[in-house]
Structure formats: C-alpha cells, structure tokens
Structure 1
Amino acid sequence: MSILEKQFEQELIKNCELAQKECGYTSTRFLQTIEKFGGVKTAQEILRKGRLSDGFEKLQQAGRIELTMEASMIKRPYAELFTDDEVNTCYEVLCEHGYYE
C-alpha cells in the first residue's frame, strides 16, 4: 500500500470517527470493509456497485457531507488514486446533494 493510499484510508477512518462523535452515525460495516480490503478498494467497489457510501444520506442531513467517502475521493491528492470516471461520479453525486451550494 502506498503512502497516499494509507493517508486516504486514515482520512476515511477519521471521518467515520467524527461522524459518530458529531452525528451519532456508526459505520461499523464500512470500517470493517476498509480494514479487510483497504480504503481505495472499498471506495472503488462501492462505486462499481452504483451505491453511495454508508451513511451518506445521514451525513448530508446532518450538514456534514464533507465527511463522506465521496468528498474524500475528490480531494487532491487522493483523486489520483481513482479513475476519472470514479472521481466524476463522486463530483456528480456531491453536486446533486448540494455539496457546492
């Protein structure tokens, strides 16, 4: 695992901890999947299945959409870990859910 992949994974875990602390959302299954397969593979698989990350809607409703996996994926330098299609999918989802308003 590259340093960048490790940093991405650490950000996902930190955001899950913040989501639990600030929004009361526990992402047990998401964290278990990250632990088993890594953050990048977990994110790619969620997108491949056409799903949103666990807790996306709850975080959006709580006004903390920046804690979602999708928001982390579009950040520099993490975007380089993913294909253009994967990053664009995240941009589209975030736009549809008011991230840039």
Structure 2
Amino acid sequence: MTDAELDPVIHSASRLRVVATLAALERGDRIAFPRLQSLLDMTAGNLSTHLRRLEEAGYVEQTKTHHGRTPATYVALTRAGRAAFERYTVTLTELLKGAQP
C-alpha cells in the first residue's frame, strides 16, 4: 500500500465508523460491546463481523469477561489501530485537498 492509498480495512464505511468511534476514546479506554452497538446503530451480528475483520488486522482487541454470571465484551483500539487511523485520516485529508501526502 502506498501513502496515497486508503487502508482498505478501515475504508469500509461500517469499519470506518467503528474505528472513528473507538479513536474518540482516550488511549487505553475501552467500550462495552452493547454501548458501541447502540452508538453505531448496528446489529450485533454486523458489528461482530466488522470487529472480527479489524481484530484480524490487529486494529482492535476484544476482551471477554463476566459480570457475575453475565458475559461482557469490551472493545478497544490497539496502538496499531490508532496509528492506522491516523495515517488514514492524513491520507484522506490530503486526497480531499488534491495533494499527494
């Protein structure tokens, strides 16, 4: 991938929304899966599919735990994911300006 190309993992509209939402969190913070699902207005299955693709790329991590007997999943942007999103936004901004990064 050259600098002028947008990261295809992030460039999908749904995954871009996921990554942008996670990037808005403070570094090291995570969000509960149901909260992320609600914010993005996505079905659980759709969100899971996109999270799996982002996780395969090393951009997000999911932590599965329990609150008592209730399972809970938390999602966070990894350091690599944050760096990829920053590169993506720089590239997109430059492309929109009509310049090469």
Normalising by structure 1, report the TM-score: 0.33
Question: Could you say which structure has the larger radius of gyration?
Answer: 2
Quick check: which one's helix share is greater? 1
Quick check: which one's strand share is greater? 2
Higher RCO (Cα < 8 Å, 6 or more apart): 2
